[in-house]
């Protein structure tokens, strides 16, 4: 296609794959949506719901409208945190957010596809795109723990 691979640090193959075929996406009815987040600056939008059984996340569904980075990040999150105990998921969310802010490194073996999002760090304006869905899920978990 092109002689040099453009933007390969930001739009890695795996990110484009998640963007083009996002996992666990589902149209959600308004009652199902637990949290809706929006970034008014770029219009990214995400609606998330999750299912927790016996302290373990057994389902994450979302509807996302946004850029490749935010869509891919939501998709990766839905895979990475599935079947995790809520506490572990919380830690993972915190770790991911800290990584995006450049406060810590991602460990290659643990992070799987997520490692591809490392490149986003170098584009300060895009960090929010990557973290939005994670924030949203964090809020979903807050909400569920209060409702219990």
Position among 13, 20, 87, 94 found at the interface with another protein (CB under 8 A): 20
Distance CA 148, CA 146 (A): 5
Distance of closest approach, residue 136 Cβ to another protein, in angstroms: 17
Residue 12 has which token pair? 């890695």
Is residue 89 part of the contact set for another protein (CB under 8 A)? Answer: no
Residue with smaller CB distance to another protein, 66 or 137: 66
Position among 29, 30, 40, 103 found at the interface with another protein (CB under 8 A): 40
Distance CA 119, CA 33 (A): 30
Distance CA 8, CA 86 (A): 34
Residue 129 has which token pair? 């795109």
- Where are the strands (E) in the chain, listed by range? 35-39, 44-53, 56-65
Position among 13, 26, 32, 43 found at the interface with another protein (CB under 8 A): 43
Residue with smaller CB distance to another protein, 125 or 146: 125
Interacting residues with another protein between 107 and 146 (CB under 8 A) = 123, 125-126, 129
Distance CA 76, CA 62 (A): 12
Interacting residues with another protein between 46 and 85 (CB under 8 A) = 66-69
Contact between 12 and 51 (Cβ < 8 Å) = no
Interacting residues toward another protein by CB under 8 A: 1-2, 4, 6-7, 10-11, 16, 19-21, 40-45, 66-69, 123, 125-126, 129
């Amino acid at each position: 296609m092109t002689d040099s691979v453009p933007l390969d640090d930001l739009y890695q193959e795996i990110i484009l794959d998640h963007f083009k075929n996002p996992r666990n996406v589902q149209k959600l009815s308004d009652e199902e949506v637990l949290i809706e987040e929006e970034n008014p600056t770029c219009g990214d939008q995400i609606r998330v719901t999750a299912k927790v059984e016996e302290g373990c996340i057994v389902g994450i569904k979302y509807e996302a409208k946004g850029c490749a980075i935010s869509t891919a990040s939501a998709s990766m999150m839905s895979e990475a945190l599935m079947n995790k105990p809520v506490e572990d998921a919380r830690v993972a969310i915190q770790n991911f957010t800290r990584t995006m802010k450049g406060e810590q490194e991602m460990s290659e073996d643990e992070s799987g596809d997520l490692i591809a999002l490392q490149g986003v760090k170098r584009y300060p304006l895009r960090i929010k795109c990557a973290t939005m869905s994670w924030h949203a899920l964090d809020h979903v978990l807050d909400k569920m723990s209060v409702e219990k």
